[in-house]
């Protein structure tokens, strides 16, 4: 599933179409991505409009139109956004295509776990404005972070980091990277953390998010070999810090990769 930085990258793929008049809207209305949106209303509302602004929040993105329309997209497991100027592009898994004078904005999703939302309103829709603070926001302070942890004292660290109502945008690989950077074992309980470890965890959440956005968010760059990311995807990997074997196991129902020789 695309995580914080990947979602931001895909959002930017549609920036090429900002300000261009949408001349035609094509949907596949029988797909599951429209389970929370009427595709007929969507087509009628978007045609003739322009997308004028885009932003992300965790794993979600929002596009504003010049006529108070709000188009929300969640990529699900396999979704992606792209921009093309090629007339004969492959639209086999394209569930939403916005045609402009210069090219096409495309939302594809093979497995259809993604979601399209749309609303016309002078203010951002409630499903956007009610989202929790982003981990890169000023609101995501150390005091706020401590408040979150106090409500989850019995939780294991890895499953807790995946809670989107607490840490929007963090997914499986980011959670592993954060805990590896913080030198914390993923199965530890929140209540076991010392104050210094809580501070370190908060700092590493910010650091991994910031660096991921810098590396992936603009041009889908490669992560450094010094990151756990480059070693976590298959059995037999070694810790970039200690050179000793990494461990892969299921924690909280999710495949987790960590370094017993580095994380405590």
pLDDT digits (tens, 9 = 90+) for 155-203: 999 999 999 999 999 999 999 999 999 999 999 999 999 999 999 999 9
Contact between 227 and 211 under an 8 Å Cβ cutoff? The reply is no
Distance CA 205, CA 134 (A): 11
Predicted local confidence at residue 31, as pLDDT: 84
The pLDDT of residue 90 is 78
Domains defined for the chain, CATH in brackets: 4-129 (3.20.190.10), 142-258 (1.10.8.50)
Task: Indicate the average pLDDT of the chain.
Answer: 96
- Distance (Å, whole) CA 2 – CA 183: 24
For residues 124 and 158, the answer to whether their CB atoms sit within 8 Å is: no
pLDDT of residue 143: 98
Across 34-65, b (16+ Cβ under 10 Å) vs e yields beebebeebbebbeebbbeebebbbbbbbbbb
User: Could you read off the pLDDT of 22-40 as tens digits, one per residue?
Assistant: 999 999 877 899 999 999 9
DSSP string, 46-61: HTT-BEEEEEEETTEE
Q: Rounded CA gap, 249 and 243, in Å? A: 19
Block residue for tokens 């921009």: 83
Residue 55: the pLDDT is 97
| Rounded Cα gap, residues 111 and 130, in angstroms | 27
Confidence of residue 206 (pLDDT cuts 50, 70, 90): very high
Task: Write the pLDDT tens digit of every residue in 71-129.
Answer: 999 999 999 999 999 988 877 789 999 999 999 999 999 999 999 999 999 999 999 99
């Amino acid at each position: 599933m695309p995580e914080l930085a990947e979602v931001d990258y895909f959002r930017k793929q549609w920036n090429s179409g900002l300000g261009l008049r949408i001349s035609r809207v094509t949907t596949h209305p029988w797909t599951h991505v429209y389970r929370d949106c009427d595709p007929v209303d969507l087509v009628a509302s978007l045609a003739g409009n322009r997308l004028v602004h885009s932003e992300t929040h965790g794993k979600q993105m929002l596009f504003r139109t010049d006529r108070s329309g709000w188009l929300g997209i969640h990529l699900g497991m396999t979704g992606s956004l792209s921009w093309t100027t090629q007339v004969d592009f492959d639209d086999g898994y394209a569930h939403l295509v916005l045609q402009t004078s210069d090219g096409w904005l495309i939302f594809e999703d093979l497995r259809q776990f993604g979601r399209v939302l749309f609303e016309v309103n002078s203010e951002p829709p409630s499903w956007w404005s009610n989202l929790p603070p982003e981990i890169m926001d000023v609101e995501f302070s150390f005091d706020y972070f401590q408040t979150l942890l106090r409500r989850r004292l019995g939780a294991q660290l890895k499953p807790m980091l995946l809670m989107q109502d607490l840490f929007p945008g963090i997914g499986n690989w980011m959670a592993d990277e954060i805990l590896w950077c913080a030198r914390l074992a993923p199965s530890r309980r929140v209540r076991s953390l010392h104050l210094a470890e809580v501070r370190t965890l908060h700092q590493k959440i910010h650091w991994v998010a910031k660096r991921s956005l810098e590396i992936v968010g603009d041009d889908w760059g490669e992560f450094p070999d010094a990151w756990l990311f480059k070693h976590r995807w298959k059995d037999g990997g070694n810790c970039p810090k200690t050179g000793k074997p990494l461990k892969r196991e299921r924690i909280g129902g999710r495949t987790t990769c960590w370094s017993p020789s580095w994380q405590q």
